[in-house]
Structure 1
Amino acid sequence: MQLISIDIETYSSVNLAKAGVYRYATSDDFQLLLFSYAIDEGPVKVVDLTQGETIPQEIIAALTNPEIIKLAFNAQFERVCLSSFLGKQLKPKGWHCSMVWAATLGLPLSLKGVGAVLGLEKQKLEAGKDLVRYFCTPCKPTQANHQRTRNLPYHDPSKWQQFKQYNQRDVEVEVEINQKLARFPVQESEWHNYWLDQEINDCGIMLDQTLIKNAIACDQSFRKQYLDEAQKLTDLDNPNSPTQLKAWLQEKGIDIPSLSKADVASALKEATGDVRKVLLLRQQLSKSSVKKYTAMQTALCPDGRVHGLLQFYGANRTGRWAGRLVQVQNLPRNSMPDLKEARELVRSNNQTALGILYDSVPDVLSQLIRTAFIPKLGCQFYVADFSAVEARVIAWLAQEQWRQEVFAKNGDIYCESATQMFHVPVVKHGINGHLRQKGKIAELALGYGGSVGALKAMGALRMGIREDELQPLVNMWRQASPNIVQFWWDVDKAAMTCIKQRLDTETHGIKFKYRSGCFFIFLPSGRRICYIKPKIGTNRFGNESITYEGIDATKKWERLETYGAKLVENIVQATSRDLLANAMQNLTQAGYQIVMHIHDEVVIEAPKGTSLEKIEKTMATVPGWATGLKLNAAGFVSDFYKKD
């Protein structure tokens, strides 16, 4: 036995989508219903645990044997649920995930989607969703079902047989996917990264339950206060209703397009009297400051920690992680100088002081969301992140020497960029300091072929840069970074040649290959990015462009367009991701416990007195495949998570 393909069906009253698999599998009523498996891609066997059947001992033994590969689509679900069923945690090593495998090739992140794109002979059964809803989740008690809250096999034997067939089919589909993808195996180093990811999710991170409970109570109290005040001012039944409020504003002579954040802010510039007060209250009421607190409560496990916050290869083009449940990749920033004091006021539920000291309590609660993550007793958080990692990577790949020199001495890239653009010295809070903002916006917007539209999208006009300054900014930035601009064109040419002529090409140490209907970009780390069924088409400007099949913004499988600078963006972000994965491996091997990571930042839970300097040094160690890259990491120590 070398490989077992697995699929399970389970029951729990916990909402899997909202609470996550760790909370789902630890509920009191969690139950394993069906266990289907195939050994070494042989015939599928279904074990019906509801009928007294048992999983064979050789399979139970294999589940804990790291030398035998356990393969499942979204394997985290199977592993965590089977850990609960067996009463012991199954270690990630030895588990492979065919969803991750599909993601490495740019395929959809659903079994049904992968099956459809690959054109498998056996497809996931369409009736599955209804069967899962019927047997795997609570049902509404009615007179017709004798007030029961759960459907069992004997309630509908015919459906139960269909459900077993559905379970079996899923394994058959998984086996066929494995056979189709066998030509493109996942690198062993990526499975090691996947196992580390699973260990981090298994560990989880502790939550400050007092802060969360009081933040929710505080929000409810102040929302009621704002709503009462708005009702008195408007005489409306529900001043939080956009329809009612827009009608009231129109009566007052304010014709507002919508009640979006931007339109309300725009209307406030001219508003006076009661209208101004009402619009300000609308701003407070529209803040969703507690949604993440309630998400934390929902996902909280019996051990006081929340697990499964990160999805490996969630961004399936570059391989970056995606946030799940609480969405830690998208947490509000905190800028309050008295963050610790405000936090203590909420923890002690001192609503009176909060109302007196702060103009916007919802804003305070929003800024405190990060601080709900806390280390266990006796430990602190050691938070370290890469400094300007994408800017460093693109400078290294493009061999933009002046940038490399800035990073070698850990200089301020925004000041140096402005210096190169305007040909005058720029010093933060010093000589020509006002130009730093222009250097910053240019750096953030223009590195991947962006132009005037990218500057606007990045908020250039809101920052006070005039419309007539935008194109000159683009021109100056490109003139100051000729090697980066050339990098875009060289990648475009290499990719075009590879796809047109089916030839292997290379530029700047990046290799391009066409294999079996796929276009691959091989990164410096050796990992590859995949573009399925590439073609050379014509874009809206009448020029040649690269198209490929992939998932669009609406999550549909479509033909997408790309070009040199966009490919550079993928290369740089994927390389930055590989640097983070390398750093996390180094930190783990050095004995540090990573509990969370966000973008280019890691959060370590370690005993008080741990050396932050050693953590920073370990994180900034340049891997052998990135010789010459100027990497740097900086961090801080805290009793709760925050943005330093």
Structure 2
Amino acid sequence: MKHLSIDIETFSSVDIQKAGLYKYALSNDFEILLFAYSIDFGEVKIIDLANGEVIPENLISALNDESVIKHAYNAPFEWWCLNQAGYKTGIEQWRDTMFHGLYCGYTAGLGATGMAIGLPQDKKKDTTGKALIKLFCVPCKPTKSNGGRVRNLPHHEPEKWELFKEYCIQDVVAETEIYKRLAIFPVPQEEQDMWVLDQKINAFGVKIDTELVEGALIINDVVTRELTEEAIVITGLDNPNSATQLGRWLSEKLDVEILNLQKGTVAELIKTLEDKDAIRALEIRQELAKASIKKYVAMSEAICPDGRVRGLLQFYGANRTGRWAGRLVQVQNLPRNYLETLDYAREIVKEQNAEFLKLVYGNVSDTLSQLIRTAFIPSENHKFVVADFSAIEARVIAWLAGESWRQEVFATHGKIYEASASQMFGVPIELIKKGNPEYALRQKGKVAELALGYGGGSGALIAMGALNMGLTEEELPDVVKRWRNANRRIVDLWWGIENAVITLMETGETQGFKGLIFSREMDLVYGQDFLTIKLPSNRKLFYPKPHLQENRFGNMALHYFGVNQTTKKWEVQETYGGKLVENIVQAISRDCLAVTLKRLEEKGLQTVMHIHDEAVIDAGMDIDVEKVCELMGQPISWAPGLLLKAAGFESNYYMKD
């Protein structure tokens, strides 16, 4: 036996969607119901554990045999559940077909991946499978007709149970068929090792300040009730939280049609209105709409019995670049904190003193929002060491393009906003400092740096907030022109990559540009077809089913299949040179973080989470932040000349320094 493909079906009273895999399988009533397997991709068999069958000794031995590779779709589920059920198996022995599919540019989800990859689809079967999972894998509502039971067992629905077993078998069949189609496009060993490390980080988890979370939820309930009552008094509405009711009330009161009450609209109305009641009603809506309280709820639902939240990171969650995505609490999208008295605010919340919090800080919702980061705390007798790369994407694009003046900036003072303004407007950088009239140019340099690196124009500047920074729409084209003139090698990078891709698609011949390799990779047996970009790290970016067709501007451009971020459907996507550069730069930045995470592990340091380009380490009191930053700034073997720098801090809780 060399390969063992597995799919299991399980029961737990914990809601896996809200609490996550780790808490789900730690439940006292968790059990494995079915164990379907295939040895060396042969016939699929099933073991009915719920009806008393047992896993044979040879399979139990194989589960912990390092020479046997275990395969599953979303393998962390099988690995963690089997271990919690008493079957020892090491994560290093597992291969995740879902990750393999994501690596090759496909979407997540067994059915969705199968459809994208070309497997025959039976939508009725998919619907039936979900119904069977709901029937047997989660608690049921007690009713008179079901005898008041809270769970459906096999003998309650014997025919459906047999159907469920067939469904489990077919999942192994689908997984192995997907694996066969992906096997010719292997995951590099470095990425497999990184996947293993990611599972270890997720399984270790991060401790939660449960007192703070409980206090935040109680205070939020009090304030929500008070604000709602105040809004009812002001408006006379039954439900002032209803956008429809509030919009109608505002329209009648102001004699102006209110088209919507979206976040931006509400903020603008508060600025422009004079009616005090209308302004206050909208201010209350702003406070009640704070989404951050949902993160406290997510934490409370996901906290494991030992006070830790696990499974916060999704490996290869950002499909196009391979970056991580947030799960459960969504740590990749946490509100910033600006309060200078975080310690004091935390203590008030822990004391559940809503009135005092309001007295000291005014806007309670905003205060709770700013404290959300601080709910993550280090283990006992430990501290957080938080370090992140400084301007990582700006450094990578400068290195990749060979933009020498930018490289010089990063090798010396690192003030890229001032240096960019200096290059754009021909003003000595020494003059662009606070107190001088030239300092106003820094704002233009900053927004240009944030918005224009990937081929964007005036629209990108507006999207980045240029108009809110004091710039006028009329001067934006000049900002774009000046930035591009100052960064000609980056502009050349956009066009060079676009030309390499189009030449590849027209000729079929592999192209090389700036250390990147552009290839067409196909498998004629199963009809797989990709455009691949080999990065300096040897990792590849995959673009499925590539083809050339006219874009909206009438030019020939690369199109490929992917998930439309608006419709969430698998359909044709259009791209261009600047967008490809964005994919590549973000992917290389991601690879720099991956190298750092491995280095931290090799030094015996425990990363508990990482947010974009920042690592959060659960460190012993003897660990020094300067040493961690020095480690992050070390050269990377596959990126000679890339100048990395990190900054960091130490804290008793997570925050934005």
Q: Give the TM-score band, short-chain normalised.
A: over 0.9
- Partner AA of 2:632 in structure 1: M
Task: Select which of 434, 440, 444 maps to 1:429.
Answer: 434
Aligned to 2:215: 214
Aligned to 1:94: 93
Partner of 1:368: helix, strand, or coil?
Answer: helix
Q: Counterparts of 1:87 and 1:521 in 2: how far apart (Å)?
A: 40
Aligned to 1:292: 295
Are the counterparts in 2 of residues 115 and 123 from structure 1 also a CA contact under 8 Å?
Answer: no
How far 1:450 moved relative to its partner? 0.4
Mean Cα displacement is larger for which, 267-276 or 34-43?
A: 267-276
Are the counterparts in 1 of residues 292 and 335 from structure 2 also a CA contact under 8 Å?
Answer: no
1:584 aligns with 2:593: no
Q: Counterparts of 2:494 and 2:583 in 1: how far apart (Å)?
A: 12
Aligned to 2:518: 512
Aligned to 2:318: 315
- Partner AA of 2:646 in structure 1: A
Partner of 2:467: helix, strand, or coil?
Answer: coil
Q: Counterparts of 1:344 and 1:338 in 2: how far apart (Å)?
A: 10
Q: Counterparts of 2:276 and 2:306 in 1: how far apart (Å)?
A: 51
- Partner AA of 1:640 in structure 2: Y
- Partner AA of 1:536 in structure 2: L
- Partner AA of 2:385 in structure 1: Y
How far 1:614 moved relative to its partner? 1.1
- Alignment RMSD, CA only? 1.4
Deviations 1:167-214 (A, max 9, x none): 011111111111111110111111100000000001000000000000
Aligned to 1:570: 583
| 1:179-258 equivalent positions in 2, closer than 5 A | 179-253=180-254, 254-258=256-260
Aligned to 2:478: 472
How far 1:434 moved relative to its partner? 1.6
Task: Select which of 371, 380, 393 maps to 2:383.
Answer: 380
Aligned to 2:50: 50
Deviations 1:558-591 (A, max 9, x none): 0111111111111100000000000000110011
1:391 aligns with 2:394: yes
Are the counterparts in 2 of residues 415 and 436 from structure 1 also a CA contact under 8 Å?
Answer: yes
Q: Counterparts of 1:613 and 1:176 in 2: how far apart (Å)?
A: 49
How far 1:55 moved relative to its partner? 1.0
- Partner AA of 1:109 in structure 2: A
Aligned to 2:263: 261
1:542 aligns with 2:554: yes
Task: Select which of 488, 497, 502 maps to 2:494.
Answer: 488
How far 1:145 moved relative to its partner? 1.5
How far 1:461 moved relative to its partner? 0.9
Q: Counterparts of 2:322 and 2:557 in 1: how far apart (Å)?
A: 24
- Partner AA of 1:387 in structure 2: S
- Partner AA of 1:146 in structure 2: G
Aligned to 1:77: 77
Q: Counterparts of 1:245 and 1:116 in 2: how far apart (Å)?
A: 44
Q: Counterparts of 1:639 and 1:587 in 2: how far apart (Å)?
A: 20
Deviations 1:433-481 (A, max 9, x none): 2211111110111000000111111111122110101110000000000
Mean Cα displacement is larger for which, 366-375 or 103-112?
A: 103-112
Aligned to 2:525: none
> In 2 relative to 1, CA 430–387 (structure 1 residues): closer, same or farther, beyond 3 Å?
farther
Q: Counterparts of 2:476 and 2:150 in 1: how far apart (Å)?
A: 62
Mean Cα displacement is larger for which, 374-383 or 549-558?
A: 549-558
| 1:550-629 equivalent positions in 2, closer than 5 A | 550-553=562-565, 554-629=567-642
Q: Counterparts of 2:555 and 2:234 in 1: how far apart (Å)?
A: 58
Partner of 1:36: helix, strand, or coil?
Answer: strand
How far 1:274 moved relative to its partner? 2.0
TM-score, structure 2 as length reference: 0.96
Aligned to 1:348: 351
> In 2 relative to 1, CA 472–623 (structure 1 residues): closer, same or farther, beyond 3 Å?
same
Aligned to 2:108: 109
How far 1:600 moved relative to its partner? 0.3
Deviations 1:469-507 (A, max 9, x none): 111000000000000000000001111111111101101
Q: Counterparts of 2:274 and 2:78 in 1: how far apart (Å)?
A: 57
- Partner AA of 1:443 in structure 2: E
Aligned to 2:526: none
Mean Cα displacement is larger for which, 362-371 or 270-279?
A: 270-279
Are the counterparts in 2 of residues 583 and 621 from structure 1 also a CA contact under 8 Å?
Answer: no
Partner of 1:62: helix, strand, or coil?
Answer: helix
Q: Counterparts of 1:529 and 1:209 in 2: how far apart (Å)?
A: 41
- Partner AA of 2:65 in structure 1: N
Partner of 2:172: helix, strand, or coil?
Answer: helix
- Partner AA of 2:543 in structure 1: Y
How far 1:87 moved relative to its partner? 6.7
- Partner AA of 1:385 in structure 2: D
Task: Select which of 413, 417, 421 maps to 2:420.
Answer: 417
How far 1:122 moved relative to its partner? 7.8
- Partner AA of 2:70 in structure 1: K
- After the TM superposition, which parts of structure 1 deviate over 4 Å for at least 4 consecutive aligned residues? 121-124
Aligned to 1:139: 140
Mean Cα displacement is larger for which, 143-152 or 498-507?
A: 143-152
Give identity over the alignment, percent. Answer: 51
Q: Counterparts of 1:263 and 1:518 in 2: how far apart (Å)?
A: 43
- Partner AA of 2:551 in structure 1: N
Q: Counterparts of 1:429 and 1:591 in 2: how far apart (Å)?
A: 43
Aligned to 2:21: 21
Are the counterparts in 2 of residues 256 and 267 from structure 1 also a CA contact under 8 Å?
Answer: no
How far 1:62 moved relative to its partner? 2.2
- Partner AA of 1:258 in structure 2: N
Q: Counterparts of 1:337 and 1:526 in 2: how far apart (Å)?
A: 44
How far 1:65 moved relative to its partner? 2.8
Are the counterparts in 2 of residues 3 and 71 from structure 1 also a CA contact under 8 Å?
Answer: yes
| 1:448-463 equivalent positions in 2, closer than 5 A | 448-463=454-469
TM-score, structure 1 as length reference: 0.98
Deviations 1:512-533 (A, max 9, x none): 1111121110001010001111
Partner of 2:324: helix, strand, or coil?
Answer: strand
Partner of 2:559: helix, strand, or coil?
Answer: strand
Mean Cα displacement is larger for which, 120-129 or 411-420?
A: 120-129
**Unmatched 5+ residue regions in structure 2?**
523-528
Aligned to 1:118: 117
Partner of 1:334: helix, strand, or coil?
Answer: coil
**Corresponding residue pairs, total:** 643
How far 1:5 moved relative to its partner? 0.7
Q: Counterparts of 1:486 and 1:82 in 2: how far apart (Å)?
A: 52
- Partner AA of 1:140 in structure 2: K
Q: Counterparts of 2:247 and 2:633 in 1: how far apart (Å)?
A: 53
- Partner AA of 2:357 in structure 1: L
Q: Counterparts of 1:77 and 1:498 in 2: how far apart (Å)?
A: 40
- Partner AA of 1:472 in structure 2: D
Q: Counterparts of 2:424 and 2:172 in 1: how far apart (Å)?
A: 58
Q: Counterparts of 2:593 and 2:377 in 1: how far apart (Å)?
A: 22
How far 1:156 moved relative to its partner? 1.3
How far 1:243 moved relative to its partner? 2.1
- Partner AA of 1:159 in structure 2: K
Q: Counterparts of 1:56 and 1:619 in 2: how far apart (Å)?
A: 47
- Partner AA of 1:429 in structure 2: K
Deviations 1:246-266 (A, max 9, x none): 222122115322222211121
- Partner AA of 2:27 in structure 1: S
- Partner AA of 1:10 in structure 2: T
- Partner AA of 2:305 in structure 1: P
Are the counterparts in 1 of residues 632 and 644 from structure 2 also a CA contact under 8 Å?
Answer: no
How far 1:96 moved relative to its partner? 0.9
Are the counterparts in 2 of residues 116 and 123 from structure 1 also a CA contact under 8 Å?
Answer: no
> In 2 relative to 1, CA 132–631 (structure 1 residues): closer, same or farther, beyond 3 Å?
same
Q: Counterparts of 1:289 and 1:548 in 2: how far apart (Å)?
A: 36
How far 1:58 moved relative to its partner? 2.0
Are the counterparts in 2 of residues 256 and 263 from structure 1 also a CA contact under 8 Å?
Answer: no
